[in-house]
Amino acid sequence: MEPLDEYTDISYIPSEPHNNFQSFNIYRPRNISDEQPPPPLVCFIHGGAWRSEDKLDHIGLAHRLASFTGYAVAVPNYRLSPRETTEDNAICHPDHAKDVLRFLEFVITWGGPYGTSAYNSNRLCLMGHSCGAHILSSIFLEATQGDDPLRPSAELLESTKAIIMSEGIYDIDLLLSSFPTYRAWFIEAAFGRQSTYEEASVTKMNPRVEYPHLQWLIVHSKGDTLVDEAQSEAMYQHLLRSVPHITRNFGELIEEHNDILKGVEFVKLVGQYIIDNVPP
């Protein structure tokens, strides 16, 4: 594995420099000389049912992705829904996605660590795992009714070249039909107590059609027992009807929901897709 430069605990809300929940780490191969153009940036949005996981849980994945692609890799934190929710501590959708949107808007304007250019801010590939896939979809798809609090800037939409989603949660009512215990476990904490979650289901949202250049990849492992393939199939069929560039891979991986992130097969699959679709 190639040696990397690491920059850690960078706040994407500069007014709150010591807030770990709104900070990110970035990893960059050292063999990129200053004479070369800066590499694209891969941003990995972690899962954890909107209530767990941390950027430090994915250091190994970030290292493997940076080594395979030769690109910079950033992993942000975002605020999580508490396990015991009260009126004073509630973090509910779309709060998690608002944080991720602020992170993404930050990295396309940030000058880089110590004023250096660590990556090409005009060439982003975004990755979301599990609820991270829902978070990215909530930003890059447009709500069909009500407000649109997650609208990205035109600059972010133009800079984002590809979105990769793995083991994603997309249709929450469909998820609860397969896993009814998830309602009490994490859905109500993340979305509130509702009879239906149709408005929060990204399979009901439309693409932002003014930016049709986006490449989409949906990945699902045959070995995933925590989120069923019906989620990814529903999202694939939804996007297939409305975006020009959509690909799926539901048969190559066999590991469990989180285990796919620990091995090399996932990195090979998505890494080659990144190189092919977001060239330097």
pLDDT at res. 35: 65
pTM given for the model? 0.96
Q: Is the sign of the CA dihedral 275, 136, 262, 110 positive or negative?
A: positive
pLDDT at res. 117: 80
pLDDT, block means (10 residues), the chain with 280 residues:
88 89 94 78 98 98 97 97 79 96 97 80 97 97 82 95 98 98 96 95 86 91 98 97 94 98 97 96
pLDDT at res. 48: 98
pLDDT at res. 121: 94
Structure tokens that stand for 94 in this block: 């779309």
| C-alpha to C-alpha distances, 49 to 35, 169, 171, nearest whole angstrom | 42, 9, 14
* Domain carrying residue 174: 4-277
pLDDT at res. 34: 67
pLDDT at res. 20: 93
| 8 Å CB contact between 230 and 266 | no
Buried/exposed code over 207-244 (b: 16+ C-beta within 10 A; e: otherwise) = bbeeeeebbbbbbbbeebeebbeebbbbbbebbeeebe
| 8 Å CB contact between 91 and 83 | no
pLDDT at res. 102: 98
pLDDT at res. 209: 67
What is the number of domains present in the chain?
A: 1
Q: For residue 237, what is the domain's CATH number?
A: 3.40.50.1820
